[in-house]
Amino acid sequence: MFRRAAAVVTVATLGVLAGAGPARADHGTAHTIARMTAHYHDPGLEPQNKPFALLYLRTTEGMRDANAEGEFSAPEFWDREVIPTFAAYYLDAYAAWDRHRLRDVDPAWRIAFRTSPERITCTQMIYLGISAHINNDLAFMIEDMGPRYTYADHKHVDDVLVFRTRPVVYPEIQRDLCPGLFGETVPATADVDIFAWRELAWRNGQALLTAPDRRAREAIARQIRDHARDKAREILRWPVGGVSR
């Protein structure tokens, strides 16, 4: 997730709604990719939501390949729990949105899902999804996974994003969805922001895990969701000028 670089999924198959967080996955990455493929090809998926859906599908395929080649410390854990559970945060948020259960969709995702494609660039559409998934969801997934989710593995995901996803997904988005993608401009810090967001998500995940009580944990969770909402609003306000792709 970075700049450049199933038939229809039914609500019933998407599980627990995003507002409560998804249940720990009970299937592997292959099943997750099948769901994500169906989601991307759903004829009801709105134009503003297609670029991120494709980005995340290809990212998950890159994670599958990296994990299959032994790049993570616990391949079975990543295949059966980490990759599917993280994807469920996105899929379940969209399922709740699709059912008009807006109270079950965190603010950053509501902003991303409802934006008008006529009013923002394709890059903004992509970054709204990236930001919501990292700034809003990632810390909660880290909390779900507990100490088996290590910092070394967390950092290695950065390499997967750069070396496995970057070479394929943005040309595909440009070809299939956004012909003007490579001519759009973005803030100069956009790429750096993604990895800074991932670092913050790690720290937030640890804070959730070590919160002394429920009240403290809920305060941290609220701060995470507020921060993700604010980042979404910043992306909507991106200036026209910036760094061209």
- Across the chain, mean pLDDT equals 90
Mean pLDDT, range 2-11, rounded to an integer: 33
Under the banding of pLDDT at 50, 70 and 90, the label for residue 26 is: confident
191: left (phi over 0), alpha (psi -120 to 50) or beta: alpha
Q: What percent of the chain has pLDDT over 70?
A: 88
Q: Is residue 1 part of a domain?
A: no
Distance CA 86, CA 33 (A): 12
Q: Please tell me the predicted confidence (pLDDT) of residue 47.
A: 97
- What pLDDT was estimated at residue 242? 55
Q: Is the pLDDT of residue 8 over 90?
A: no
Using CB atoms within 10 A of its CB, is residue 175 exposed (0-12), middle (13-18) or buried (19+)?
A: exposed
Average pLDDT over residues 172-184: 96
Per cent of the chain over pLDDT 90 is 84
Q: What is the pLDDT of residues 110-169, one digit of tens each?
A: 999 999 999 999 999 999 999 999 999 999 999 999 999 999 999 999 999 999 998 999
Amino acid identity, position 55: L
pLDDT score, position 65: 98
Q: Which domain, by its residues, includes 177?
A: 11-244
Q: Are 123 and 186 in contact (CB under 8 A)?
A: yes
Alpha carbon distance 132, 139 (integer Å): 11
Q: What is the pLDDT of residue 166?
A: 85
The dihedral built from the CA positions of residue 61, 171, 189 and 132, taken in this order, carries a sign that is negative
Domain total for the chain? 1
The residue-averaged pLDDT of 211-220 equals: 98
The answer to whether position 227 is within a domain reads yes
Tell me, what's the pLDDT at 48? 97
Which of 13-17, 95-99, 238-242 is modeled with the greatest confidence? 95-99
pLDDT, tens digit (0-9, with 9 covering 90-100), for 49-65 = 999 999 999 999 999 99
Half-sphere exposure of 205 (CA within 13 A, CB side): 25
Residue pair 150/187 in contact by the 8 Å Cβ criterion: no
Residues with Cβ < 8 Å from 184, sequence gap 6 or more?
Answer: 121, 122, 123, 244, 245
| pTM listed for this prediction | 0.89
Average pLDDT over residues 37-53: 98
